[in-house]
Structure 1
Amino acid sequence: MGSGFDFYVLSLSWSPTWCAENDRAGKTAQCNGDRTYGFIVHGLWPQNERGFPSFCPSRDSDRVPDALGRGLFDIIPSMGLIGHQWRKHGTCSGLDQRAYFSVLRAARDRVRIPASIENADARRRMSPATIETALAEANPGLTPQGVAVTCGDDKLDEIRICFTRDLAFRACSEVDRGGCRARDLTIPAATRP
């Protein structure tokens, strides 16, 4: 599924951290409290063993039609983010918009998030290695070398999971090396404001 790159990275953003850092006033659908979001899809990124392509030429429009984008709101709650991901990453997948977002959804559906992470309490701290191990244990075929946890200010930001182009889990040393090196992290609770 796709061509012109080596593998995919599915980036899952922890919405409570993003909202606390970027939208405290709750102006976006992601943060306004009408719906509680935990992990949202930040993107599905074509990668090479070293580096990644971005903003590739495409026959498809830069604009993602509303009908296509709104069908993704359960996992990506923003047309702005959907459009940006298409322009920066989807255009490099070798797929058209509909196929790219179909693969993106299939990749997200492949990942099971353990309750220990999804329902974490900010008072409990977890190391990035513990998060990676929990994900590997919950997803047969996934190893800690195929997951990278990112962080900022000792809070969970994202989980990045590597897939082959056929959506099998795989190791990805360059992505893994870019993960969080903090000793432990807080995971802000996904609750309504």
Structure 2
Amino acid sequence: MSSTVAGHFHDHRQQSRANTLGLWIFLATEVLFFGALFAAYLIYRVLYPQAFETAARETEIAIGTLNTALLLTSSASVAMAVKTARLGQRRATMVLLGVTLALGLGFLAAKGFEYHSDLTKHLWPGSADFPLDPPQTRIFWALYWIMTGIHAVHVTAGLGLWAVILTMIARRSFPLESSDKVEIAGLYWHLVDLVWIFLWPILYLVGRS
């Protein structure tokens, strides 16, 4: 992701391609990781359809939908930031990345409020006062906490990455138009958003049609 050419590369173009390929390999491992969770969800959803519908009706659909809108908007701001970075428009890039940070923080704040609500209602599988029947509803809520929790960790990591890049841009630490930092970080952010696009229907919309 550096704008300077490392000694083992011939030129910046080769280094940029290597950086992009490396990130795509990393993203592939992330897809495999989340794919295993989605596969587990699918298996249990087929085995216990009624229990999963009952459990899913207790999720906070308004917050889930709000968070979907926040992440989709953040993907748009990242896409525009990639464009302005390529054009060397430093101020516009900083504004767009600031918007992305604000939207991501809004997502985490809403998710924290949702988690608090879930805990208040004892909607976690280890609770002695878990309010739902049949017992298989606990499987749904176990998957809910695992999948959304891991996703929130990825969002947090992405926000940390954007904060570092934004600081570097403000300090003019690299020539913006010849660097691939924003583009590569954007690929990661789009994956995080894509995962949520799959989480939203299977965790919030099931049983509500």
Give the TM-score taking structure 2 as reference length: 0.25
Whichever structure has more strand as a proportion of its residues is 1
Give the TM-score taking structure 1 as reference length: 0.26
Q: Which has the higher contact order (CA 8 A, sep 6+)?
A: 2
